Structure 1
Amino acid sequence: MTVRVKICGLTRRQDVQAAIDCGAHAIGLVFYPPSPRSVSMEVARELGSMIPAFVTVTGLFVNPEREFVEDVLKTVPLDLLQFHGDESPDFCRSFGRRWIKAVRVREAGQIEQACADYHQASGLLVDAWDPNHYGGTGQSFNWSLIPEQRPLPLILAGGLSSANVARAIEQVRPWAVDVSGGVEECKGKKDATKLSQFFKEVHRVCKTD
């Protein structure tokens, strides 16, 4: 089994470097001002310039205006768009970039429906439901709601840390895992030791490419 790792909500150069050194396959930059992990386009451009070949720079948006996404794309070297709000399939695919859609899971059948609705996505990210927040809650959800048959690559998020990522991989067998709060010293600032421990647990149960 091969599982890829995305580190999301990066805001500092040293955290980007630590994620790369640990072997991150993707980094996530948040373009959602209400989030404590949000970055300006200028900071994002600086962080993006650090990324070596074969590491994917992902831009996270929540119900953005089209003009905002277009402005970010002109400024920041993004490889992948992540839509974490209530965006329509037409909106998600309208930027001519690869994209993934996040789904906040709270009931059976929701993931299957999202796979059908967003079938042109490069992957489906499943996260915990919170009525007041679009991700970044640090909460997990009932993994038994994740179906065995998945038309899209499944990215598991929500409350992951070194304490549970091995169990999550063994139970869910995702395409990738996505972590933010579980490797932080405080919101927006990663902890190099927690990052290392997280990757160690991933490597313990699977191969990584």
Structure 2
Amino acid sequence: MTMEGLVQVAGIGSLAEGRMLLDCGADLLGFPLRLPVHATDTSEDEARAIIAELGPSFCVLITYEQDPDRLVEFCRFLNVNTVQLHADVSADTLAQIRTRLPLRIFKSYVVGRESMSPARFAQIYSPVCEAFITDTFDPSTGASGATGLVHDWGVSAELVRHSPRPVILAGGLNPANVRQAIRSVRPAAVDVHTGVEAPDGSKDPELVRAFVREARAGFAEAAG
């Protein structure tokens, strides 16, 4: 699957919600599990059942799991072939994981937490990752994603310039700002979580449609 122009929506609460998101134009669905800060949207058993129904090609495990054995076991349990890692995991460890399971790995670059420069990060992790995702660190909670906060897009744009791998832009995106974000950063794809949620935390179909529409317009403008 090419990453160009993709929209990922994270935080799937049910099978019905997952199907709705795909109907609204989402390309990938993110399942945040084993998180150090946020509550999860579903249990691990529920996520496994949803992924089995929707198919692993649409589903991405989002996790802070650091232990290679537990991560491989977890991916096998969920039957996912793509994992988005927000933990501090070395490139050597990722290489070891890939020898045990043919995973597509999206490695996070958390703006405000990552000490490595975008150029150095891209150099070290590109050989063992399929893509990078930039997100926002919230020092008040310790969260490295799903913060609803925008980070310095200039840092994300620098990673795009240096990376031979696709970059997914996340962090405080919503229907009102995603188009400008894409024009400014020129990422391969975008990710949204809290920016398309209703007050009760469920995904709002109208917000999702608006986000997808604005993202597609932003990608078209960036390409033109």
- Shorter-chain TM range is 0.7 to 0.9
Q: Which residue of 1 aligns with 2:48?
A: 45
Q: Report the identity percentage.
A: 27
* Length-normalised TM-score, structure 1: 0.88
2:111 is the counterpart of 1:98:
no
Deviation, 1:167, is 0.5
**Larger fraction in helix:** 2
The within-5 A match list for 1:111-190 is: 111-119=118-126, 120-131=128-139, 132-145=142-155, 146-147=157-158, 148-186=161-199, 188-190=201-203
Residue in structure 2 matching 1:203, options 216, 221, 224? 216
Unmatched 5+ residue regions in structure 1? none
Which structure has more relative contact order (CA 8 Å, sep 6+)? It is 1
Report the RMSD for the aligned CA atoms in angstroms: 2.2
Deviation, 1:105, is 1.2
Deviation, 1:157, is 0.3
- Paired letter, 1:102: S
Deviation, 1:46, is 1.4
Unmatched 5+ residue regions in structure 2? none
Alignment check: 8 A CA contact 2:135 2:144 kept: no
- Paired letter, 1:101: K
**Cα offsets for 1:49-77 (capped at 9, x unmatched):** 23258x43111111433343233223212
Deviation, 1:89, is 1.4
Taking the aligned partners of 1:93 and 1:31, their CA distance within structure 2 comes to 22
Say which is worse superposed, 36-45 or 7-16, in terms of deviation. Answer: 36-45
Residues 80 and 184 from structure 1, CA distance in 2 versus in 1: closer, same or farther, beyond 3 angstroms?
same
Deviation, 1:169, is 1.0
Q: Which residue of 1 aligns with 2:76?
A: 74
Residues 206 and 99 from structure 1, CA distance in 2 versus in 1: closer, same or farther, beyond 3 angstroms?
same
* Length-normalised TM-score, structure 2: 0.82
